[in-house]
Structure 1
Amino acid sequence: MNDEWTSQLPEAAQAYLEGRKLDEVECIISDLPGIARGKAVPATKFMRQEYFHLPDSIFYQTITGDWGEAAGDDGFIERDMILRPDMSTATAAPWTGDWTLQIIHDAYDRKNKPIEFAPRNVLKRVVELYRKQGLEPVVAPEMEFFLVARNIDPAKKIEPMMGRSGRPAAARQAYSMTAVDEFGPVIDDIYDFAEAQGFEIDGITQEGGAGQLEINLVHGDPVKLADEVFFFKRLIREAAMRHDCYATFMAKPIADEPGSAMHIHHSVLDIETGQNIFSGPQGGETDAFFHYIAGFQNHLPAAIAVIAPYVNSYRRYVREHAAPINLEWGRDNRTTGIRVPLSSPKSRRVENRLAGMDCNPYLGIAVSLACGLIGLNEEKRPDRQFKGDAYEGEEDIPREMGAALDLFDEASALHEVLGPEFARVYSIVKRAEYEEFLGVISPWEREHLLLNV
């Protein structure tokens, strides 16, 4: 291998390849749903190329593979984008049969301008807006997911996986170490793959659902953490497949079980001083802390279409079922949509509990950061802290995709932060997807309406 090329690789990737010959490089980019798109090329070819091409139409596809009419005035001509590698993202693909690296690429047009609706570029744009104001955003995502039995028939209900004991995974075993042990072989592979890829896991716990696990990541740079969630989704799926089960990141895969969230913790540092702007010199809560919460309360309703991107996402927002139903905020209160966890003043943070694990990590983190940034700039105060069970309060978030998209389309302040072109393309694609869903007759309709109405 070319020593100059390998010297650019992160330490974990170099360790993975030590004494081995790199066979292949997967050049990847996230589309709107968060699916890895790209090309696999021989390592020798990758060493010679500075970029590769993919059509911009990959961002116009719905989750079913259909297309939204989002190409713009020039029409659907599938213009080539220029995709350049970010070598800092190079990481192993340890489940492959040969020695393979994955490298995330960024998308540019022919004038070397970032493609505005590429999800990673959207997040980079938001982070840069913070930095222009002398601020450094810090996030920590939590990933919830289910390990389920193989399901090759869409008409069949999703069922929990069979555990190591030979019994199906049981619900209501939150934080049980015995329940975690049931999935030991899968978790072992998750740890092994993560180590090979250079990712640090802060912890794995059993959640409240049958076969539901949570992985916490160490806080850090938003783009780096979104890259890791993007990689982790693939890593976890591959680990599950090795053990005859599926990993699913659907927001609500099993009707009577809790849904899966991607809780996002936020703090903001002053670049000049390195201090958390949510805490004052004496450790108290600052005006910025309250402004950030107000940004969430005032702008998250319009952001729901991004952090709850599918019709299934709205099945998660169920009263008394481990998911928020409103935008109340509270200290150390898991029933509120906006939670302030217990922490030292240095680590003071605000947690967005509304995002589903089915959202694109780049877009979910970007829109959450955008709400907070708008809040800092508007300098409004939030509602009074909610004390008690927030499930007893009123619902104040949209409950279906159409209503969420209507709010998103009207959110000019959010569009300005995320990028107007992204907002235009996203809305068109998601509405096309919603229309596809509305064209499907469900089993419920056939069961209850066929002979009764």
Structure 2
Amino acid sequence: MRATEIKSIVAQLPDHLQEWLAGRNPEEIEAVVPDMVGIGRGKAMPGRKFASEQTMFLPTSIFFQTITGGYADVAIANAWAESDLVLVPDLSTGRAVPWTSDVTIQVICDVHTQDGKLSGLAPRNVLKRVLDLYSARGWKPVVAPEMEFYLTKPNVDPDLPIVPPIGRSGRQGVGRQAYSISGVDEYSAVVDDIYDFAEAQGLEIDTVMQEGGAGQLEINLNHGDPLKLADQVFMFKRTIREAALRHDCYATFMAKPMENEPGSAMHVHQSVVDIETGASVFNDKNDQATELFHGFLAGQQTYLNSVVCLLAPYVNSYRRLVPGESAPINLEWGTDNRSTGLRIPISKPESRRVECRVVGMDANPYLAMAACLACGYLGMVEKLKPREPIVSDAGDLPHELPHDVKEALKAFENAPKVQELLGVEFSQLYIAIKRSEQNDFLRVISPWEREHLLLNV
């Protein structure tokens, strides 16, 4: 009976996964849930148990945890009764786990309450909620994320600075080598494993390139459905980390891991198509930008500041968003202008899109995409108008973005329209988690304080 159940499960998995299994039954299946950070929590079990499992549960508190492993003081009724949430496997998300010795697959689970509703606390469901708003108006968003990250030497002492790894030449990586082919070749062993792991998982890579930092790489993903692309970013982070560990280095997605190197972003390209026709609603019959395009753009200019705490979620995130770095400091827009927070890339008219350059690579991809799309949605339905485009260096203009987590959270607290779209209970929980993390950080004495204050004040 169990063999039949396993075969039934395998038959529902994506074609690329069935091809990888090549007739083998999975020995282990990981049922995973993206948490507030954007990492996986869940359960691993033998394939036969997964196939016969009636219902899987995890406590609600998996969404209450801060980045330090502590728990936020949440204003949710009976929160610490730790009632269970129900995990419902989305078999369409099944992927290989090719770095394990056993035949292992992972499946992302939807999170439901015990009465069968999608839990509003789960980040994946927050994105679904926003996508449903678009669908109700006959629209479908399309996104394409760019993933920047650093390869570093293993860092087992958090008091020591992070440094670049040794490349195949035997030399330590150096920065300011953007788009260098030989820069990518320095870490070809890691990149090759990333490609191999991605192929085994059916994950498509558009391009790989060297970014501006020492040991900093960028992987671009093909455009598509926001939920599927958020799933891919979620899986890619784990994949890249595993490939790096095979070669005695770390992969980090911190927004600013090294003081004198540029930060890591997750630029998100966004467009919207008509569900019935598949045509872009940003482009009219004369190949001109539509009111909906300008509304989407204006919505991001108007509301994006209120969700920066979702795009830049940690204290470290704001070390990237400062003047003089290769990151935006405001929400100006311009065509083919990389100094603006909102860039319109060169493209064919039917591919017109908005690239949000504010998002950090440390952001939860589900929440970042939900937040960006919610702002664009508000602009479209409210028929907002954007400011005039910028053709000069937007870095010379005033700093418009929040300067730190505290300022960003205050802006989110004062944005009821956005909170309503993302879910009020989720929004209040997120604020509580980030305030708890901020308080934890304030208890830490930094090397700067010891160096400059110890004997001088």
User: Is TM-score (shorter-chain normalized) higher than 0.5?
Assistant: yes
Give the partner amino acid of 1:451.
L
Give, in whole Å, the separation in 2 of the partners of 1:171 and 1:147.
12
Give, in whole Å, the separation in 2 of the partners of 1:378 and 1:255.
41
Residue by residue over 1:123-180, the C-alpha shift from the partner in whole angstroms, topping out at 9 and shown as x without a partner, is 0000011000110010000000000011000000000111010101111110010001
The aligned counterpart of 1:183 is 187
Give, in whole Å, the separation in 1 of the partners of 2:134 and 2:53.
33
The aligned counterpart of 1:255 is 259
Give, in whole Å, the separation in 1 of the partners of 2:322 and 2:211.
17
Pairing partner for 2:370 from 363, 366, 373 = 366
Pairing partner for 1:62 from 56, 61, 66 = 66
SS in 1 for 2:81: coil
SS in 2 for 1:279: coil
Answer yes or no: is the 8 Å Cα contact 1:90–1:103 preserved in 2: yes
2:132 equivalent to 1:120: no
SS in 2 for 1:226: helix
Unmatched segments (≥5 aa) in structure 2: none
The aligned counterpart of 1:164 is 168
The aligned counterpart of 1:211 is 215
* RMSD of Structure 2 on Structure 1 (CA): 0.9
Residue by residue over 1:350-402, the C-alpha shift from the partner in whole angstroms, topping out at 9 and shown as x without a partner, is 00000000000100111011010011011111110011111111000101000
- Residue identity over aligned pairs, in percent, reads 54
Deviation for aligned residue 1:71:
5.4
The aligned counterpart of 2:104 is 100
Residue by residue over 1:397-430, the C-alpha shift from the partner in whole angstroms, topping out at 9 and shown as x without a partner, is 1010001000001111101110111101100111
Deviation for aligned residue 1:74:
1.7
Pairing partner for 1:284 from 285, 288, 303 = 288
2:148 equivalent to 1:144: yes
2:200 equivalent to 1:196: yes
Residue by residue over 1:302-344, the C-alpha shift from the partner in whole angstroms, topping out at 9 and shown as x without a partner, is 1100000000000001223110011110000000000000000
Residue by residue over 1:72-95, the C-alpha shift from the partner in whole angstroms, topping out at 9 and shown as x without a partner, is 122411110000000000000000
The aligned counterpart of 2:421 is 417
Give, in whole Å, the separation in 1 of the partners of 2:166 and 2:75.
45
The aligned counterpart of 1:407 is 411
Give the partner amino acid of 1:357.
M
Give, in whole Å, the separation in 1 of the partners of 2:165 and 2:414.
42
Give, in whole Å, the separation in 2 of the partners of 1:33 and 1:274.
33
2:154 equivalent to 1:155: no
Give, in whole Å, the separation in 1 of the partners of 2:64 and 2:30.
22
2:400 equivalent to 1:396: yes
Give, in whole Å, the separation in 2 of the partners of 1:392 and 1:114.
45
SS in 2 for 1:29: strand
Unmatched segments (≥5 aa) in structure 1: none
2:426 equivalent to 1:441: no
2:28 equivalent to 1:24: yes
Answer yes or no: is the 8 Å Cα contact 1:148–1:211 preserved in 2: yes
Residue by residue over 1:419-442, the C-alpha shift from the partner in whole angstroms, topping out at 9 and shown as x without a partner, is 111101100111111111111111
Deviation for aligned residue 1:345:
1.0
Give, in whole Å, the separation in 1 of the partners of 2:79 and 2:158.
35
Answer yes or no: is the 8 Å Cα contact 1:50–1:84 preserved in 2: no
Q: Which one is further off, 66-75 or 184-193?
A: 66-75
Deviation for aligned residue 1:205:
0.5
Correspondence 1:312-327 to 2 at 5 A: 312-327=316-331
The aligned counterpart of 1:78 is 82
Deviation for aligned residue 1:274:
1.5
Give the partner amino acid of 2:322.
V
Pairing partner for 1:348 from 352, 355, 358 = 352
Answer yes or no: is the 8 Å Cα contact 2:25–2:47 preserved in 1: no
Deviation for aligned residue 1:50:
4.2
SS in 2 for 1:159: coil
Give, in whole Å, the separation in 2 of the partners of 1:75 and 1:85.
24
Answer yes or no: is the 8 Å Cα contact 1:60–1:71 preserved in 2: no
SS in 1 for 2:42: strand
Residue by residue over 1:173-214, the C-alpha shift from the partner in whole angstroms, topping out at 9 and shown as x without a partner, is 100100010010000000000000001100000000000000
Pairing partner for 1:130 from 131, 134, 159 = 134
Give, in whole Å, the separation in 2 of the partners of 1:396 and 1:22.
51
Answer yes or no: is the 8 Å Cα contact 1:91–1:197 preserved in 2: yes
